[in-house]
């Protein structure tokens, strides 16, 4: 959680390019750090096994193994798929200090990280991520992923 210098995102597109690729709602969340309304997203209570990829660039970010039921209205994970797949920024908007979580590869907004809330998970961290920022790749489809 140190304030390391931001790595240059591997994927660097203009707003116009993102707007062509994303729906208006996706653009608002991913590129404008918006937040979908709780309990409205696609994945907040999903238990399907698989990998959650960045909806903007496809980088693999989280898996169903670290997903847990936080009853908060958004998909919650206790850890990212790998260290370095997401990056952290200090967010002082809305009158509070929060940790913003972004995709390292394309610098899109994913959600926020909360710690020490008392969840019975291995890390006691809650990555509170917008469904709109993610695409679930179900495990059954994974085997054929490299064969097309």
Interface positions with Zn ion (CB under 5 A): 54, 56-57, 59, 103, 105-106, 108
Judged by beta carbon, residue 76 or residue 134, the one nearer Zn ion is 134
What backbone phi and psi angles, to 5 degrees, belong to 84? 100, -15
Q: Report, in Å, the least distance between residue 31 CB and Zn ion.
A: 11
**Which one from 54, 103, 106, 128 is the annotated catalytic residue?**
128
Alpha carbons 135 and 114: distance in angstroms, whole number: 22
Q: Report, in Å, the least distance between residue 10 CB and Zn ion.
A: 9
Catalytic-residue membership of 57: no
Alpha carbons 9 and 103: distance in angstroms, whole number: 9
Q: Report, in Å, the least distance between residue 105 CB and Zn ion.
A: 5
Judged by beta carbon, residue 61 or residue 70, the one nearer Zn ion is 61
Strands (E), 25-108: 50-54, 60-63, 67-68, 76-77, 86-91, 98-103
The tokens of 80 are what? 């990212």
Quick one: how far is CA 114 from the chain centroid?
A: 13
Enzyme catalytic residues: 128
């Amino acid at each position: 959680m140190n304030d390391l210098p931001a790595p240059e995102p591997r994927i660097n597109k203009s707003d116009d390019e993102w707007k062509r690729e994303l729906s208006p709602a996706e653009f608002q969340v991913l590129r404008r750090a918006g937040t979908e309304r709780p309990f409205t997203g696609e994945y907040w209570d999903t238990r399907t096994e698989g990998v959650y990829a960045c909806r903007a660039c496809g980088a693999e970010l989280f898996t169903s193994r670290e997903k847990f039921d936080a009853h908060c209205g958004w998909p919650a994970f206790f850890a990212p798929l790998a260290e370095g797949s997401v990056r952290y920024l200090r967010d002082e908007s809305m009158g509070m200090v929060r940790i913003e979580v972004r995709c390292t590869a394309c610098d899109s907004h994913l959600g926020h990280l909360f710690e020490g809330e008392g969840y019975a998970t291995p890390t006691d961290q809650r990555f509170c991520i917008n469904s709109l920022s993610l695409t679930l790749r179900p495990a059954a489809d994974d085997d054929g992923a490299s064969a097309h």
